[in-house]
Structure 1
Amino acid sequence: MTRKPIPAPATADVIDLAARRRCALERAGHDPVSVAVGMLADTGQVPGWDFTTDPDDGSGWAA
């Protein structure tokens, strides 16, 4: 049995679903740990994002 590769647009859809899920959890008022656990349960991958407050770290918050 051969496996068909996932086309690139489908990969983008999966990423979009994970982003939407994260936004929904944050909008519901969950703390960052609950959001990470929820995303781990939904996607099977541990999310990572930077919470640094150093303005010179290059993270570049959008204005």
Structure 2
Amino acid sequence: MPQIIHNILGSGWFGYVARIALTFMFWSGGLAKLIDFNAGVGEMVHFGLEPAWLFNIATSSSR
């Protein structure tokens, strides 16, 4: 293995960056539903989940 790759994989910060990158789609979806609450409620209505506001809160806080 090249030395530069070995150094990157052995560094402490790389693990944190990798975890953030790999989980980005999950926590960003929850944040998006909280930031634009009405759009999140609209998404729940679209999928027939009632009460939509409750499902929006539950799915945005569980991520």
**Higher normalized helix content (fraction of residues):** 2
Same fold (TM over 0.5): no
Q: Which has the higher relative contact order, 1 or 2, with Cα contacts under 8 A spaced 6 or more apart? A: 2
TM-score using structure 2 length: 0.31
Structure 1 or 2, whichever has the larger Rg, is: 2
